Amino acid sequence: MRFMTRFCALASLALAVWSPLPATAQDTYPNKPIRLVVPVPPGGAADGMARMVAEHLQAKWGQPVVVDNKPGAGSSVGMSLVAKAPADGYTLGLGNIAANAINPALQPAQFPYQPVRDFAAISVVGVTPLVLVVNADKVPARSVAELVTFLKANPNLAYGSSGVGSSLHLAMELFLQKTGTKMLHVPYKGSAPMTTDLLAGQVVAAIDAAATSMPHVQSGKLRALAVTASERAFFAPDLPLMRDLVPGFEMRPWHGMMAPAGTPAAILTKVSQEVNAFLRTPAARAKLQDRGIIPAGNTPAEFQAFMASEFETYRKVIQDAGIKAD
């Protein structure tokens, strides 16, 4: 009897040792459809980027990845939904510089979420290169150094932006702060009317999206002096990097995958690895560049640190320039 008792105990121990370990969140994820919230309207570059990523993940995992466009309030409507969703990896969002850095810094008391604390970073997907351009007839400068000299001699010239608190506004303010120059700010309701006045000489300079400004650079009406990306631009490889000419200047509008805070690290890692694998493919890089986007990619830890740094950068720019929300 004693032998049988000991045998049963040993058998039970053996089963415990050899039984398969419980599946981790990373092993079983995903086992149902994923919702990818995109906080901008359908049809634009960011929406196209999100759909490309969703298509790749769906093909890789065999589960639907449904893009859900929720635009409004500078992308905060969509990202609010992500922040409040269950932290199980089945609601993801395509955050951006406006929703997760600039707008919360511009309206800290009124914002519906904390831009860093309420999200778990996955990976930056792409950045939109900006270009410092001047009206070729109104500004003789052919380099950033010459522009700084010109502005110091002519401090009452005007620059345009797509609106108060926009990335184009803050990019130019950062440039002025770092170079010790002054210009008058003329905000517009969007980049298109600003470009019209820039071409007409009503404003003489801007930091604008490359997709908007480069056709006019090629026609000779605007002159491009530098690109704000962190690497030479594929569309104009001879353009110098602003950060090499103006110490401390970093401005590159970004879009990145994120999840609600508290999402298991294993899930974040799994999604990040797959997004980065997608971004390394030649086909993905070519398609993103066709939309004016530089493919990016990084780890959850790197992206989380980057988000915190971006928020602090624009909080300081806004504070130093005395910018107030409309």
SS (H, E, C) 120-132: EEEEEEEECCEEE
| Residues 151-210 pLDDT 10s | 999 999 999 999 999 999 999 999 999 999 999 999 999 889 999 999 999 999 999 998
Instruction: Specify the CATH number of the domain 32-127+253-321.
Output: 3.40.190.150
Q: Is 219 exposed, middle or buried (0-12, 13-18, 19+ CB in 10 A)?
A: exposed
Top pLDDT among 295 and 22 is at: 295
Q: Does the pLDDT value for residue 36 go beyond 50?
A: yes
Q: What is the mean pLDDT of the chain?
A: 90
At residue 26 the predicted structure's pLDDT band, cuts being 50, 70 and 90, is low
pLDDT in tens, 274-290: 999 999 999 999 999 88
As a whole number of angstroms, the distance between CA 104 and CA 270 comes to: 29
Q: What residue ranges of the chain are covered by domains with CATH 3.40.190.150?
A: 32-127+253-321
Q: Is pLDDT at 16 greater than 50 in this prediction?
A: no
Q: What is the mean pLDDT of residues 118-122?
A: 98
Which position has the token pair 């790197």?
302
The answer to whether residue 125 scores a pLDDT higher than 50 is yes
pLDDT of residue 116: 93
pLDDT, tens digit (0-9, with 9 covering 90-100), for 224-270: 999 997 778 788 889 999 999 999 898 889 999 999 999 999 999 99
pLDDT at site 23: 53
Whether 17 shows a pLDDT value over 90: the answer reads: no
State how far the Cα of 251 lies from the Cα of 228, in Å rounded to an integer: 6
β-bridge pairing 91-96 and 254-260 = antiparallel
- φ/ψ (deg, to 5) at 243: -65, -25
Residues forming beta bridges with residue 127, ordered by sequence position = 254, 294
Nearest CA to 157 among 170, 145, 140?
A: 140
Q: Give the per-residue pLDDT at 79.
A: 97
Residue scoring higher pLDDT (214 or 20) = 214
Whole-angstrom distance, CA of residue 196 vs CA of residue 228: 22
Please tell me the distance from the alpha carbon of residue 263 to that of residue 268, in angstroms, as a whole number.
7
Please tell me the distance from the alpha carbon of residue 115 to that of residue 75, in angstroms, as a whole number.
Answer: 12
Q: Which of 236, 114, 25 is nearest to 223 (CA)?
A: 236
For residues 122 and 256, is the Cβ–Cβ distance under 8 A?
A: yes
Rounded-to-integer distance, Cα 271 and Cα 123, Å: 8
Helix (H) or strand (E) holding 103, with range, is helix 103-106
Output the pLDDT for position 250. 82
What was the pLDDT predicted at 230? 78
Question: Residue 18 has what pLDDT?
Answer: 41
Nearest by Cα to 147 from 194, 179, 187: 179
Question: How confident is the model at residue 146, as a pLDDT?
Answer: 98
Q: Is the pLDDT of residue 7 over 60?
A: no
Mean of pLDDT values over 65-82: 95
Res 233: pLDDT: 78
Q: Cα 73 to the chain's mean position, in Å?
A: 17
Q: Judge contact between 187 and 90, C-beta under 8 A.
A: no
| pLDDT reported for residue 235 | 82
For residues 86-109, average pLDDT: 95
Between residues 220 and 27, the one the model is more confident about: 220
* Distance between CA atoms of residues 77 and 95, nearest Å: 11
The CATH 3.40.190.10 portion of the chain extends over: 130-245
Q: Which of 42, 40, 66 is nearest to 53 (CA)?
A: 66
pTM: 0.86
Model pLDDT, residue 24:
58
Q: Is 130-245 assigned to CATH 3.40.640.10?
A: no
